Each structure stands twice: as structure tokens, then as C-alpha cells.
């Protein structure tokens, strides 16, 4: 399992959000971000393979970008956010970092999970 994982829940429908494309990036220290991994949430809304198992993590700023527009369009739902980007700090690379996204057509929330 990757040391950075996510879980997307569609709170409007009350079920996991399957098929959401997610990109993991790391800050390059000032000019932008570079991609580290990509994936799509499974039937349970989870993505456990953003980084290959055993990939070392470094302290720094990371970003998860969720392609929420295509997800909502596939459901036939007009939504406000075409994508959601969540930036977060990794201070202790030895810890796992789980970043869930609670999603609805007109809003979202996130938190540090376990």
C-alpha cells in the first residue's frame, strides 16, 4: 500500500465515489508541482496505489487533485467544482498519510484520516 492514500465519498448519494481520477504531486520547492503518481478510485471509492509500495516519502508539500467534473458528468449531475485540489504538508515521512474527500455537487470537505 502507498504511504499516501485517499478515499472519496459522495455525500449527496451516500455512497463511495468510484471512478474518480486522482493525481498526486509534490512541490518542487518554489516554482510548482511535479507529478508522482496517478490512479482511479475503486468501487469502494479508495485509491491505495498512488505510489508504488516501498517508495520513500520525504517531508514537504504534496497535492492531491481529484477530477470531480468528469465524475459528476458521468452521473448526469451539474456540479460547481470541475476539480478539487488538496495541498497538505508531510512533516513525518515515516507516517502514513490518508486524505479523504467528502464530495457533493456544490461543495467538498477533507481531513487527515487514519
Q: What is the pLDDT of residue 1?
A: 56
Number of domains making up the chain: 1
CA dihedral 60, 80, 40, 35 (to 10 degrees): -30
Helix (H, G, I), strand (E, B) or coil at 30: coil
**Cβ atoms of 111 and 100 closer than 8 Å:** yes
- List the CATH number of the domain containing 75: 2.60.40.180
Specify if 86 maps to a domain: yes
Q: Regarding predicted confidence, which is higher, 1 or 104?
A: 104
Specify if 34 maps to a domain: yes
Specify if 114 maps to a domain: no
Distance CA 12, CA 77 (A): 11
pLDDT in tens, 9-36: 999 999 999 999 999 999 988 789 999 9
Report field, pTM of the whole predicted structure over 0.75: yes
pLDDT in tens, 31-73: 899 999 999 999 999 999 998 777 888 999 999 999 999 999 9
Q: Provide the residue count of the chain.
A: 114
Specify if 15 maps to a domain: yes
Amino acid at each position: 500500500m502507498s504511504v499516501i492514500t485517499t478515499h472519496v465519498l459522495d455525500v449527496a448519494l451516500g455512497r463511495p465515489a468510484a471512478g474518480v481520477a486522482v493525481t498526486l504531486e509534490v512541490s518542487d520547492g518554489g516554482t510548482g508541482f511535479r507529478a508522482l503518481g496517478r490512479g482511479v478510485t475503486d468501487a469502494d471509492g479508495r485509491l491505495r496505489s498512488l505510489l508504488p509500495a516501498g517508495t520513500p516519502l520525504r517531508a514537504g508539500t504534496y497535492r492531491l487533485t481529484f477530477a470531480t467534473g468528469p465524475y459528476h458528468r458521468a452521473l448526469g449531475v451539474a456540479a460547481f467544482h470541475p476539480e478539487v485540489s488538496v495541498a497538505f504538508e508531510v512533516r513525518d515521512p515515516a507516517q502514513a498519510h490518508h486524505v479523504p474527500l467528502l464530495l457533493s455537487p456544490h461543495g467538498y470537505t477533507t481531513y487527515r484520516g487514519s
